[in-house]
């Protein structure tokens, strides 16, 4: 029988995509294994495929958390953005998030707008290729209902239309944005921002951040230039955020923010700035 501990990486990846929080995903995995080890050896031996059992339990815990998350979000100060993850640092592979399209910030934001059942059905079936019969065991619905949930989730993704740009092109746009920001060059910033661009910041009430989205390329350009003027010691570093080119802000060597972008062609459509220190523990 495959060692259940070998499933830890899979569980972390499933739970992170479902919750958008690495900290919460780790808690889910810990609770899942606690339930496994609380069983008798005979009960464990009776489970033919431990990996499937563990994934089912973890997914059910995630579903419960998603249902309660909406209540918690009502108390959250300002906008909520999924927790960003950096490139693997050579640590335990079981703790790594596989960086693919399904964890891009744009994709996670669309997932977060789904109902809990839609999100679970879509992630388990479309991302991890579980059958609808298996999804039904998690969601507590019929396979046909889960098929409809996944289809509804796909329509949400299509309607949101997250841009998919080649990494090299996106890296160039992000690098140009960094240079224009450092130079406080509003004209250059305007040339890089879509006129309808939106910037969302997440400080969680713990640090200063815009409480509402900043809409419009001109408003974002002036906001960025003003920030550079007020914080001359702010350092901007290029990095990989959820598998895509992004920026990391530092002050006195301490990471103070992680910025993800959605780039469409040669223009930036969305900017997500995570400043909540509780979401930056992997970046310090």
The pLDDT, as a whole number, for residue 91 is 60
Q: Same domain for 29 and 93?
A: yes
The pLDDT, as a whole number, for residue 148 is 98
Q: Same domain for 188 and 210?
A: yes
Q: Same domain for 48 and 143?
A: yes
**Which among 111, 138, 160 is the end of a domain?**
160
Q: Same domain for 131 and 182?
A: no
Q: Same domain for 31 and 145?
A: yes
The pLDDT, as a whole number, for residue 80 is 96
pLDDT tens digits, residue range 101-144? 889 999 999 999 999 999 999 999 999 999 999 999 999 999 99
Q: Which residue has the tokens 């780790």?
A: 26
**Which among 145, 160, 175 is the end of a domain?**
160
Q: Same domain for 171 and 136?
A: no
Regions of the chain where pLDDT drops below 70: 1, 89-95
The pLDDT, as a whole number, for residue 284 is 81
Domain that holds residue 192: 167-283
**Which among 129, 160, 191 is the end of a domain?**
160
pLDDT tens digits, residue range 230-243? 988 999 999 999 99
Residue 91: give its domain's CATH number.
Answer: 1.20.140
The pLDDT, as a whole number, for residue 219 is 98
Residue 261: give its domain's CATH number.
Answer: 3.10.450.50
Q: Same domain for 127 and 176?
A: no
Distance, CA of 13 to chain centre: 11
Q: Same domain for 204 and 250?
A: yes
Q: Same domain for 139 and 194?
A: no
Q: How many CB atoms lie within 10 A of CB 79?
A: 19
Q: Same domain for 11 and 54?
A: yes
Q: Same domain for 95 and 215?
A: no
Q: Same domain for 194 and 258?
A: yes
Count of structural domains within the chain: 2
The pLDDT, as a whole number, for residue 259 is 98
The pLDDT, as a whole number, for residue 87 is 87
């Amino acid at each position: 029988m495959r060692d259940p501990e070998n499933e830890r990486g899979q569980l972390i990846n499933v739970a992170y995509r479902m919750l958008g929080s690495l900290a919460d995903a780790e808690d889910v995995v810990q609770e899942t294994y606690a339930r496994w080890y609380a069983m008798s050896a005979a009960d464990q031996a009776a489970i033919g495929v431990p990996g499937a059992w563990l994934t089912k339990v973890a997914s059910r815990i995630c579903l419960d958390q998603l249902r309660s998350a909406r209540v918690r979000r009502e108390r959250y100060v300002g906008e909520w953005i999924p927790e960003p993850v950096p490139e693997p640092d050579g640590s335990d592979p079981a703790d790594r998030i596989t960086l693919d399209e399904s964890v891009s910030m744009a994709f996670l934001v669309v997932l977060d707008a789904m109902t809990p059942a839609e999100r679970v059905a879509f992630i388990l079936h479309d991302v991890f290729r579980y059958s609808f019969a298996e999804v039904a065991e998690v969601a507590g619905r019929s396979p046909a209902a889960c098929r409809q949930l996944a289809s509804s989730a796909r329509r949400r993704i299509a309607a949101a239309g997250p841009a998919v740009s080649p990494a090299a092109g996106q890296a160039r746009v992000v690098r140009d944005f960094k240079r224009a920001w450092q130079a406080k060059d509003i004209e250059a910033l305007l040339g890089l921002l879509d006129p309808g661009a939106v910037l969302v910041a997440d400080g969680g009430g713990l640090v200063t951040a815009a409480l509402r989205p900043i809409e419009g390329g001109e408003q974002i350009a002036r906001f960025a230039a003003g920030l550079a003027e007020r914080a001359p010691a702010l350092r901007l570093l290029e990095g990989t955020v959820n598998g895509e080119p992004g920026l990391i802000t530092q002050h006195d060597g301490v990471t103070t923010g992680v910025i993800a972008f959605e780039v469409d062609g040669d223009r930036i459509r969305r900017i997500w700035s995570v400043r909540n220190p509780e979401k930056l523990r992997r970046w310090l």
